[in-house]
Amino acid sequence: MTAPQEEVWRAAFAERTVDVEGDHLHWTGSTGRTGTPVLALNSQVETAYRVSFRWHYGREPEGNVRPACGYPGCVAGAHLKDRVLRASGGVA
């Protein structure tokens, strides 16, 4: 993703989130039919979980990404775990 594209995605993500006590990030944007937060731009669709995870950890997630903090639908990068983090007990 080029720098200008990255900025557009980050701005769109920020427009659809609200900071919540406990460092949680509440998603106010669209969701898929199962309730997963989704971000769609220029005919590209990604889950907000995967986007936030990638930005926070600096790598592509492996397997499903889910919040591990107990706050429903939290999209804060530090609160998300992929299969690797779940298997390792949370160590990146």
Q: What is the DSSP string of 26-59?
A: EE-S-B-TTS-BEEEETTEEEEHHHHHHHHHHSS
Give 9-67 pLDDT, tens digit per residue. 999 999 999 999 999 999 999 999 999 999 998 889 999 999 999 999 999 999 999 99
Which helix (H) or strand (E) covers residue 67, if one does? Answer: strand 66-67
Does the pTM of the predicted model rise above 0.85?
Answer: yes
Which helix (H) or strand (E) covers residue 84, if one does? Answer: helix 83-88
Kindly indicate the confidence band of residue 5, based on its pLDDT and cuts at 50, 70 and 90. confident
Q: Where are the domains of the chain?
A: 3-88
Contact (CB, 8 A) for 80 and 53: yes
pLDDT on residue 4: 75
pLDDT on residue 45: 93
Report how far residue 17's alpha carbon sits from residue 27's, in angstroms, rounded to the nearest whole number: 5
pLDDT on residue 83: 96
